[in-house]
Amino acid sequence: MSENQTVGLVVETVAGPGVLHQLSGVVARHQGDITSVEIVEQSAAGARVSFEVALPLEAVSVLKRDLEGLPVVRAVATVPTLGTIYGKRLIIMGGGAQVGQVALGAISEADRHNIRGEHISVDTIPLVGEKALAEAVRAVARLPRASALVLAGSLMGGEIEEAVREVRARGLLVISLNMAGSVPDAADLVVSDPVQAGVMAVMAVADTAKFTLERLKRRVF
């Protein structure tokens, strides 16, 4: 039997309780390892469920056939995984003007690496307020494929600092602009220029870049 590979499946189903349980039961019977699952659409008329499953390539067609055989299933399609299409995700949040400047650097740098075969996507969300930002920072740790977070603002601290320390403990890279407040003290890297912050964030997560934070002799630029 060949080694496992991850495949994407989009399953259209009827609406109702217990549907996800039936779908995952079929995957389990085929020794599939569900690495990602998301209900991408749900209404009274039905639902669409997106799975990413690791299993031997020769088992994909059999799994698809058995899923299609469930009474609750209307259709099954194999699709590329989101990691194949969108790859690693860089999240930028904070004040609108600063977010835009960080995104300018990040998108330009991501384009350079994506041309060379990388898949790096950039997400932005302008936010204000300590509570809103702290909740958003914590939510990044729950986002699929999120590799790094850039905090772009003029003043961040308090609960936002606590949230930064929490997500860093989960392995998320956090870069902060050089701003007032305690967030820069909690971040992995502090960069004064927002465009450079976006560039460095992409370089830090790109496999095609010869750049690691561990090799830096200082953490504030």
- Please write the tens of the pLDDT for every residue from 87-121: 899 999 998 899 999 999 999 999 999 999 899 99
Q: Which superfamily does CATH assign the domain made up of 86-215 to?
A: Hypothetical protein af1403; domain 2 (3.40.50.10550)
Task: Please report, for the chain, the start and end positions of each structural domain, with discontinuous segments joined by +.
Answer: 4-80, 86-215
The model's pLDDT over 140-195, given as tens digits with 9 standing for 90+, comes to 999 888 999 999 988 999 999 999 999 999 999 999 999 999 999 999 999 999 99
CATH number of the structural domain 4-80: 3.30.70.260
The model's pLDDT over 8-65, given as tens digits with 9 standing for 90+, comes to 999 999 988 899 999 999 999 988 899 999 888 888 889 999 999 998 878 888 999 9
- Whole-angstrom Cα Rg for the chain: 21
Whether the Cβ atoms of residue 161 and residue 182 lie closer than 8 Å to each other: yes
Q: Which of 86, 52, 128, 166 is nearest to 149 (CA)?
A: 166
